[in-house]
Structure 1
């Protein structure tokens, strides 16, 4: 017999595995979308190539022979390897799907900088509800990476890389008493009210601002509705809402009557992490992770502030994740 005549037919091996799982030729054929006659021919061909019977047909369904049981482990490996190879090739063709809160927030700058270094990688930006939706989306594979605040451990199946520490700015109207300062010590917010209409109950960013306000003695006002950035900025400019806090990198609409001032002593930082699933093997995902690790700057507790749940992740060496 020539070697080519003994090559295994992957379709026949897949049929063999399906029958071991369903026990009946008819049910396995239906799952594979072929006729019972076709699946029988595949098994007959496989048995001919291997030179041994694989099944004994009983009233309770097909039972593996001793040779069939010995072949099963290898058959599953063959099918799984083929499926992984196909998925790898498909993933190379499809876009890297990256989840962000909004296209105006800091992670967009990270993703844009990555794309400039590897312009041949196709990237699809998806906006969602942060960590609350990212966990399920990553588990389903509907997104490959997500940027959000984690505030602890994300779970065993998710890899969490510290991505960016974003300084906070105070946003005030031009007539506000603090508007003429080049920087504002955060202790000066004590006793004041900071308006944050986008702080959704249960979100990781609302939790962050609750921890920040508790640490430095100011109150968060979340009354809305939240009509978007333009409305938000106009309210601050008019003086109707006295102050708010925005990230240094967030792109809010310019308004002639608003002023953004860095907060200092210490500098409050918003911790952005990159999450991905351990079983996701999109080839561009590793490149993105390497890019994020290379740009990350660690937390400096002498001059900066993070909530206690975030400090461990942003103090550790990201290369060990």
Structure 2
């Protein structure tokens, strides 16, 4: 059924005049007549009775009118629902304790009027997350995706570099160090439970290990963040790596130490993936917020060779 025919029928029914309906719709009276005739052929009944004084609804037209209005109302609601800004922005933050989730939370705190929904596609790797963005499951996702693997239709902006820090208990040999070079971690056991093969973070830590001769493993079951904090507090040799913007909590008695890594500073490069040309106003505001408030990338930054380099908000291949 032609939507414009329905809209024209309602206009004629409410104005009582073909010419008045034509003026309201911005079309000719002849176009109004053609639309009404086509609609009546489609439904198989006469909807409007013409006279020298105008037109009035037939009995069938009186029955049809409220249904036509409901259809037009539903169409209007559907259009508003998908119009940019007509619904919540769905952002995949990967994990609620790490930098992307904290950055989105800070954005919301500074823009409480913005309508957004932070979600986690925790079982997805970067390629699958990009596909979810392209299919519209989510509007945006923070991932580290090689520049040559960014699919068509996806925009990727490196807007959130998270410098890594060493997290250790008070008995660890490096517990009192003001900062540590990545190369100085060679020979120390770094435990990062939960690394899944085939994910971008597995590739990141593999290249970090190779570059600096580190021993990073994910052996043993992952009982969650609290269990990891307990293990660090009780060990004089165990360490892990966290992002400087990650938010982990532990009892004060654990006395865990966060130690910056420098010379160089490894950063985890979170790129904001979104559909190319997406004009959702909350996405535009989030992107601008990250550009102006995100942590400054260190001068001695290290990233894997497969990561795209930031270049005025665009992404290009490089090392």
TM-score over 0.5 (shorter chain)? yes
- C-alpha change, 1:164 and 1:146, in structure 2 (3 Å) is same
Partner of 1:163: 159
Task: State TM-score, norm by structure 1.
Answer: 0.70
* Kept in 2: contact 1:145–1:275 (CA 8 A): yes
Q: Distance in 2 between matches of 1:284 and 1:108?
A: 16
CA deviation vs aligned residue, 1:25-50 (integer Å, no higher than 9, x gap): xxxxxxxxxxxx977349x99xxxxx
Task: State TM-score, norm by structure 2.
Answer: 0.71
Aligned positions of 1:77-92 closer than 5 A: 86=79, 90-92=83-85
Partner of 1:307: 304
* Kept in 2: contact 1:195–1:241 (CA 8 A): no
Q: Distance in 1 between matches of 2:41 and 2:170?
A: 77
Aligned positions of 1:262-281 closer than 5 A: 262-278=260-276, 280-281=278-279
Shift of 1:114: 2.1
* Kept in 2: contact 1:162–1:293 (CA 8 A): no
Partner of 2:68: none
* Kept in 1: contact 2:169–2:236 (CA 8 A): no
Aligned positions of 1:33-112 closer than 5 A: 40-41=42-43, 86=79, 90-112=83-105
* Kept in 2: contact 1:182–1:262 (CA 8 A): yes
Q: Distance in 1 between matches of 2:309 and 2:97?
A: 25
Aligned positions of 1:212-223 closer than 5 A: 212-223=208-219
Partner of 2:145: 150
- C-alpha change, 1:213 and 1:320, in structure 2 (3 Å) is closer
Partner of 2:203: 207
Q: How much is the aligned-residue C-alpha RMSD, in angstroms?
A: 3.2
Shift of 1:103: 1.1
CA deviation vs aligned residue, 1:181-203 (integer Å, no higher than 9, x gap): 11112111123331111211111
Q: Distance in 2 between matches of 1:305 and 1:183?
A: 16
CA deviation vs aligned residue, 1:140-176 (integer Å, no higher than 9, x gap): 2121111122232412210111111111111112111
Partner of 1:138: 133
* Kept in 2: contact 1:194–1:243 (CA 8 A): yes
SS at match of 2:309: helix
SS at match of 1:111: helix
SS at match of 1:169: strand
Q: Distance in 1 between matches of 2:315 and 2:186?
A: 38
Aligned positions of 1:284-303 closer than 5 A: 284-296=282-294, 299=297, 302-303=299-300
Q: Distance in 1 between matches of 2:85 and 2:31?
A: 28
Q: Distance in 1 between matches of 2:284 and 2:262?
A: 35
Shift of 1:109: 2.5
Partner of 1:61: none
Q: Which runs of 4+ in 1 moved over 6 A?
A: 82-85
